[in-house]
Structure formats: C-alpha cells, structure tokens
Amino acid sequence: MTTLSQRETGCLLIADITGYTSYLQSTELEHAQDVLADLLETLVVTLQPVFTLSKLEGDAAFAYAPVGRVSPTLILDTVEAGYFAFRRRLRDIDNATSCECNACLLIPSLDLKYFVHHGDFVARRIAGNEELTGSDVVLVHRLTKGQAGKQSGFPAYAVYTKKTIETFGMNPDLLGFVPYTEELSDVGEVEVVVQDLGTRWAFETERHRVYVTEEEAVFSATWPLPVSPAVAWEYMTSPEKRAQWNQSITSFEPQTPGRLGVGSVNHCMHGDEVVVEHVADWRPFTYFTLEYPMPHLGEGEYWRHTYEFGGDDREATMTLRFSFPTPGVRAWWEQESGSFLAGLEENGAHLFELWESLEPAQA
C-alpha cells in the first residue's frame, strides 16, 4: 500500500564508501560485511539527527534534511564530522586487529565521499518503507557516477551542487572548493564544487587543540540536555539561534566571512558594550572553545570558554568550563563572578525553555 505525501524542499545527502567494490572482491565475504556494517553504523550516527536517514544503499547511506533544519555551517560540519569519525574508525579497526586476513589488511584502502544537493522530493511509505522520489533525488544519485571527484584528484571529497551553494549562501572560493561541470547523460550539465576532505582530515589530526580541562577550569558545570548534541551545538553556535535565548545580545556580527570555525571572530553587542570573541577550537558536535580578549584589564588579558557535548540523542549532556590564563582576569572574576553567573543562569533558563518547546523531530 502506498501513502501519498506532499512535496518537500530540503537538503539531500549521500555518503558513499569509496573502494568497497574492489575491497569486497579481494576479501573474505563474511568478514568484509562485518567491516561494512561497522563503518555504515559510524556514518549513520554522524548524520543523525541533523539529517534523517532515508535508507542504506549497499555501501552508501542516503539521508535528507527538510528546509529550515540545516544551515551552511551545519551542513559542512556534518560532512566533516562524518568523515573524521569514519577515518578514526578505520584507524581504530586497523590498530585493534591482529588478524591477517585480506578483509583486515585492506581496511586502509577504503575511503569516503559525499554528494550534497538542495532540491524537492516526496517522501512516501511504500510496503512499510520510506522512499524518496523526484527528479532531485535522481540527480543526487546520478552525481555518485560523475567525474568531479576523479577529475579533482582528491581521494576523499564532498561534491556540492551549485544550487546548494547558492541556496545556503556559501562562498566556494573562501572555502577552497574546486569548480567542475558534470555532464550526465540523462540529466545534462550540472555545475558542482568539490571539497578536499583528505586535507581537512590532515589539518584535524595535526592542529593544536585548545581545550579547557577539568583541572584547568575555574568554573565547570554539566547539564543534561532535552535535545541531541547536534541540536545543542547549533543553538550554541548559530548567531541567529543564540539571539533567540541570550537576552543580553542586541546584535551579533561575524567579522570573518565564510563558515564559522577556527579563526572566526565575532562582535557581540551587549547593550552599549562590545564583546569580541575568537573561535580558538572547533570540533563539530564534540566541543568548541571561545576566547574573549579583555583589554580593559591590561594588555594580553583574556579568558577562555570550552563548551563540550557528550552522550547521544537519548542522554545528551553539555559541559561549560572557564579558564583564566592571565592574572588580570582571575582578579576580575573574584569581583564579578556573582553577576556573571546570575546572567548565565538567566540565559540558560531561556535556552532550556526554548529547547523544551521544540517538536520531537526538531529536538
């Protein structure tokens, strides 16, 4: 029995394991299928709840997010967080096994690619299963057979259609994406851009972490969350979402173009006061660290905040830690901690009220 649904608009995404066909032909079937199941589970966890899994397609996962659920930064963070989790899982499996079978020896030959397109679709229930249909669904699947990734020379990559880039206001030049025109026999020419995920992984593994530990923290608090870590992340990082619950912010102006991430500088207006914040570390859906210069206390004075997200969709937590690397801020804290924590508690109450009002699908 088929149930008809209305047309929806949103972001369509395919995460496809690279090299799996040749890997399967050279390995023991049973063991290879265990590896595939493990890697697909890793991918699905990173996609949800920002994206809804439509179905698994062999060595790929097909997912979607209705319009309004995703932002440019959230799309890019989902892709990169998924790729990083995939690479870490490959590394862990490889390091943890002493098995000499081909299925284990050839694990490092696997990689990952993404295809992202913004368009229309219809979600239907057919024989008890959800199926997405429409020309844009066909297009994103045709992209998996295209030449953009091969021509770019990137072993691991993400392909975004020009429509996606334009819809979400991304600047491909600032993001370092490579343009390409796909020529698909049954679709025609499709303009896309390609992101090098391998370079992003190298940067992720080599760059210095800026992270406030429990031992360093002057203040630390952990809260159970009524929403998933990914949703909490968006409400804590998106300028538009922050303005919904932080009553003291009267305006929020990013000073660096492009996506939020390490190196971003934001100006927050708190009434007549301007607060400058620097993004010092950015590990999507795990933690981010902000640094706040306080020049009125002396040259080089600043303090540091780390927001960390843990658990899963059912039992998520958020931890906030402050550290004061400079003496002037420590002295300031002794005098101002009461009023600051009162403001933190008030804004936190607004935030949790907002989260608790979300529909289950949003949370």
CATH of the domain at 293: 3.30.530.20
Q: Are residues 89 and 136 in the same domain?
A: yes
Q: Are residues 12 and 132 in the same domain?
A: yes
pLDDT-wise least confident of 172-181, 315-324, 325-334: 325-334
Both structure tokens of 85: 């989790």
* Residue 363 domain-assigned (yes or no): no
pLDDT at residue 303, rounded to an integer = 92
The mean per-residue pLDDT over the stretch 207-229 comes to 92
Q: Residue 311's Cα: distance from chain center in Å?
A: 16
Which residue, of 185, 205, 225, is where some domain finishes? 205
Q: Are residues 124 and 15 in the same domain?
A: yes
Which residue, of 187, 205, 223, is where some domain finishes? 205
pLDDT at residue 263, rounded to an integer = 80
Confidence tier at 2 by pLDDT (50, 70, 90): very low
Q: Are residues 198 and 293 in the same domain?
A: no
User: CB count, 10 Å around CB of 190?
Assistant: 20
**Which residue segment(s) compose the domain that 190 sits in?**
2-205
* Residue 269 φ/ψ, nearest 5 degrees: -90, 120
Q: Are residues 224 and 345 in the same domain?
A: yes
Query: For 277-301, what is each residue's pLDDT tens digit?
Result: 899 999 999 999 999 988 888 888 8
Both structure tokens of 193: 């851009």
Query: For 68-109, what is each residue's pLDDT tens digit?
Result: 888 888 899 999 999 999 998 888 776 666 666 776 777 777
Confidence tier at 1 by pLDDT (50, 70, 90): very low
Q: Are residues 76 and 215 in the same domain?
A: no
- For the cut 70, the answer to whether the pLDDT of residue 332 exceeds it is yes
Q: Are residues 301 and 252 in the same domain?
A: yes
Instruction: Give, to the nearest 10 degrees, the angle between helix 327-356 and helix 229-237.
Output: 120
pLDDT at residue 304, rounded to an integer = 94
Bridge partners for 252 per DSSP: 268
* Residue 361 domain-assigned (yes or no): no
Which residue, of 205, 240, 269, is where some domain finishes? 205
Determine what percent of the chain is predicted with pLDDT higher than 70: 88
Q: Give the count of domains, the chain.
A: 2
Query: Model-level pTM greater than 0.85?
Result: no
Confidence tier at 166 by pLDDT (50, 70, 90): very high
Q: Are residues 161 and 227 in the same domain?
A: no
Q: Are residues 51 and 187 in the same domain?
A: yes
pLDDT at residue 330, rounded to an integer = 87
CATH assignment at residue 19? 3.30.70.1230
Q: Whole-number mean pLDDT of the chain?
A: 86
* Residue 362 domain-assigned (yes or no): no
- For the cut 90, the answer to whether the pLDDT of residue 320 exceeds it is yes
What is the three-state SS of the chain?
CEECCCEEEEEEEEEEEECHHHHHHCCCHHHHHHHHHHHHHHHHHHHCCCCEEEEEECCEEEEEEECCCCCHHHHHHHHHHHHHHHHHHHHHHHHHCCCCCHHHHCHHHCEEEEEEEEEEEEEEEECCEEEEECHHHHHHHHHCCCCHHHHHCCCCEEEEEHHHHHHCCCCHHHHCCEEEEEEECCCEEEEEEEEEHHHHHHHHHHCCCCCCCCCCCCEEEEEEECCCHHHHHHHHHCHHHHHHHCCCCCEEEECCCCCCCCCCEEEEEECCEEEEEEEEEEECCCEEEEEEECHHHCCCCEEEEEEEEECCCCCEEEEEEEECCCHHHHHHHHHHHHHHHHHHHHHHHHHHHHHHCCCCCCC
Confidence tier at 323 by pLDDT (50, 70, 90): very high
